[in-house]
Amino acid sequence: AQSVTQLDSQVPVFEEAPVELRCNYSSSVSVYLFWYVQYPNQGLQLLLKYLSGSTLVESINGFEAEFNKSQTSFHLRKPSVHISDTAEYFCAVSVAMNYGGSQGNLIFGKGTKLSVKP
Amino acid sequence: KAGVTQTPRYLIKTRGQQVTLSCSPISGHRSVSWYQQTPGQGLQFLFEYFSETQRNKGNFPGRFSGRQFSNSRSEMNVSTLELGDSALYLCASSLALSNEQFFGPGTRLTVL
């Protein structure tokens, strides 16, 4: 079975400060890794994903995450946050299939609420 | 391309009633997954449908059921509602062999 642990339930930071949201996973099989963001009263939006290849993946809005297989981690970072980054962030995994897709059930962490203060 | 749509967006029911939620996937997407989001349990997988067949099921009681139609639209049904069923129900769609799911805005169900 797979599991995801997000170590911080809430992270308050000041605007323009760097931030790291931590995520660790457990799985006996190959998985794909994802970060989703949820703004109030909205659904989930994919922020970035790791499937294979370079262990550092980046999003278009300045976030990056690094896959570390030995530490089974996929931490999310941003060097300088904005007020608009205030949201809840979810780390998730799905079981990788041979054909390159994944099983249709994402396993999510409990989420980290990022609060950016002016 | 239109995104995943879910109807209704908000719903209030009383204990013992049943409810049906609807999800229309992105055009061309044949896989639909459902998730329940609550403050206590977080995001939990309910089930996944592909080509009108349930391909995967989470650990929920039989009161929770779903189906998918030939046009890939999906419905989920909850019978004999309990207070603990109050949640945001999210639907996600994906291409047939994809690893990326696209989520709808959710249906917020309140059980009184």
- Is the CB of B103 less than 8 angstroms away from the CB of A43? yes
pLDDT tens-digit series, residues A73-84: 999 999 999 999
Compute CA distances B4 → B18, B23, B103, whole Å. Answer: 24, 7, 6
Q: What is the pLDDT tens value at each position of chain B, 112 positions in all?
A: 689 999 999 999 999 999 999 999 999 999 999 999 999 899 999 999 999 999 889 999 999 999 999 999 999 999 999 999 999 999 999 987 677 899 999 999 999 9
Q: Kindly report the nearest CA distance between residue A43 and chain B, in angstroms.
A: 4
For B83, phi then psi, to 5°, come to -55, -35
Tell the residue number behind the tokens 């949640």, with chain if given: B87
pLDDT tens-digit series, residues A1-50: 889 999 999 999 999 999 999 999 999 888 899 999 999 888 899 999 99
Burial of B106 (0-12, 13-18, 19+ CB in 10 A): buried
Alpha carbons B87 and B31: distance in angstroms, whole number? 22
Which of B112, B83, B110, B92 is CA-nearest to residue B34? B92
According to the 3-state scheme, what is the secondary structure of B45-92? EEEEEECCEEEEECCCCCCEEEEECCCCCEEEEECCCCHHHCEEEEEE
Alpha carbons A73 and A80: distance in angstroms, whole number? 22
pLDDT for res A99: 62
- Is the CB of A90 less than 8 angstroms away from the CB of B56? no
pLDDT tens-digit series, residues A51-62: 888 889 989 889
* Cα of A76 vs its chain's centroid, Å: 6
The answer, yes or no, to whether residue A100 has pLDDT greater than 70, is no
Alpha carbons A98 and A19: distance in angstroms, whole number? 35
- Is the CB of A108 less than 8 angstroms away from the CB of B99? no
Chain A environment of B99 (Cβ under 8 Å): 32, 49, 51, 94, 96, 100-102
Which has the minimum average pLDDT: A89-93, A99-103, B7-11, B21-25? A99-103
Alpha carbons A114 and A118: distance in angstroms, whole number? 13
Inter-chain contacts counted by CB atoms under 8 A, chains A and B: 64
- Residue B29 in contact with residue B95, Cβ under 8 Å? yes
Q: Is B56 on the interface with A (CB under 8 A)?
A: yes
pLDDT for res A40: 87
Q: Which spans in chain A are helix H?
A: none
Residue type, B90: L
- Residue A103 in contact with residue A40, Cβ under 8 Å? no
- Is the CB of B103 less than 8 angstroms away from the CB of A107? no
Alpha carbons A98 and B93: distance in angstroms, whole number? 20
